[in-house]
């Protein structure tokens, strides 16, 4: 069997992304056939070599790619574990045949579309700014936003010294107490939607991601999930050049 770079092997096995694999290797957390490896260019025979990463034996063959779309309910942490014992999204997915990891993040109180996978390479690309993967939110803001303020969000505003990318904003419902908006962005800064509207004077009181990379919540109630179809997986990979 052809040799494979160790970081690629770990990413394909769903252990972590290639970038994270390089860090694990540099930190001495990966061994091959009982010997710690710290050379980033190390290659292995995936059919014969025994690889242990973070104390866990990694299968000597590539695992079947698994992609899951979850409708994340509010009140759950997007993490494998939480040091404070708060409920996590992984607890909604018991008894899976493989270990999966969240693609990106949603805040504790944010609901909606969350992708999880064991395909570390595709996960990294889906969250990388280079690929500009689209994310669509239904946003409830306090008050009735003025058109001039919405135009600021559409064109981009400075947050923490850096201008945001243009956003698409559609008003779904206006009201004196609160309004409902549809917002599409193509970057993934931390708490970006909340910061955008707070900056123009309309705090967010409700946030649901209704679409991620073209995947919608159709048929999924909060807490429900489904496996992606092969055609959906291929489309995602094509979207990010894989």
The DSSP result for 183-220, as a single string, is EEES---TTHHHHHHHHTT--EEEEEEEEETTEE-TT-
Q: Is 182 within 8 Å of 137 (Cβ atoms)?
A: yes
**CATH code for the domain of 188:** 3.30.70.1560
- Are 225 and 168 in the same domain? no
- Are 193 and 123 in the same domain? no
Tell me the pLDDT tens digit for each residue of 90-114: 999 988 878 899 999 999 999 999 9
Flag whether pLDDT at 147 surpasses 90: yes
Name the pTM for this structure. 0.75
pLDDT classification of 131: cutoffs 50, 70, 90: very high
Please state, for a pLDDT cut of 90, what percent of the chain lies above it: 64
- Are 103 and 166 in the same domain? no
pLDDT of residue 234: 85
Q: What is the mean pLDDT of residues 33-39?
A: 90
- Are 162 and 206 in the same domain? yes
Name which of 217, 227, 214, 218 is nearest 111 in CA terms.
217
Name which of 3, 16, 4 is nearest 124 in CA terms.
16
- Are 91 and 195 in the same domain? no
- Are 161 and 220 in the same domain? no
* Residues paired with 20 in a beta bridge: none
Phi and psi angles of residue 217, each rounded to the nearest 5 degrees, phi first:
-90, 10
pLDDT of residue 57: 83
Helix residue ranges, H only, 18-77: 18-26
Q: Among all residues, which ones are annotated catalytic?
A: 107
Flag the least confident range among 53-62, 110-119, 185-194: 53-62
Quick count: other Cβ atoms within 10 Å of Cβ 231? 8
Domain end (from 41, 58, 75): 58
pLDDT classification of 12: cutoffs 50, 70, 90: confident
Domain end (from 34, 58, 82): 58
Flag whether pLDDT at 33 surpasses 60: yes
Q: Provide the number of structural domains found in the chain.
A: 3
- Are 124 and 153 in the same domain? no
Name which of 77, 23, 79 is nearest 54 in CA terms.
23
- Are 120 and 143 in the same domain? no
pLDDT of residue 48: 81
Q: Which domain holds residue 103?
A: 67-129+215-239
**CATH code for the domain of 76:** 3.30.70.580
- Are 153 and 170 in the same domain? yes
């Amino acid at each position: 069997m052809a040799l494979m770079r160790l970081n690629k092997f770990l990413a394909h096995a769903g252990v972590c992304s290639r970038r994270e694999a390089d860090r694990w290797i540099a930190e001495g957390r990966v061994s091959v056939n009982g010997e710690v490896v710290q050379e980033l260019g190390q290659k292995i025979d995936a059919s014969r070599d025994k690889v242990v990463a973070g104390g866990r034996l990694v299968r000597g063959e590539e695992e079947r790619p698994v992609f899951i779309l979850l409708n994340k309910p509010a009140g759950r942490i997007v993490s494998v574990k939480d040091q404070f014992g708060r409920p996590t999204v992984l607890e909604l997915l018991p008894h899976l045949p493989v270990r999966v990891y969240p693609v990106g993040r949603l805040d504790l109180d944010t609901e909606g579309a969350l992708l999880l996978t064991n395909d570390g390479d595709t996960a990294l690309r889906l969250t990388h700014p280079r690929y500009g993967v689209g994310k669509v939110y239904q946003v409830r803001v306090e008050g009735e936003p003025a058109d001039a303020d919405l135009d600021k969000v559409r064109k981009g505003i400075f947050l923490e010294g850096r201008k945001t990318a243009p956003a698409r904003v559609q008003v779904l419902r206006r009201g004196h107490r609160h309004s409902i908006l549809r917002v599409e962005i193509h970057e993934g800064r931390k708490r970006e939607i909340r910061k955008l509207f707070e900056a123009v004077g309309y705090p967010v009181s409700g946030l649901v991601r209704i679409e991620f990379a073209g995947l919608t919540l159709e048929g999924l109630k909060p807490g429900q999930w489904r496996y992606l179809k092969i055609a959906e997986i291929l489309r995602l990979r094509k979207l990010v050049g894989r």
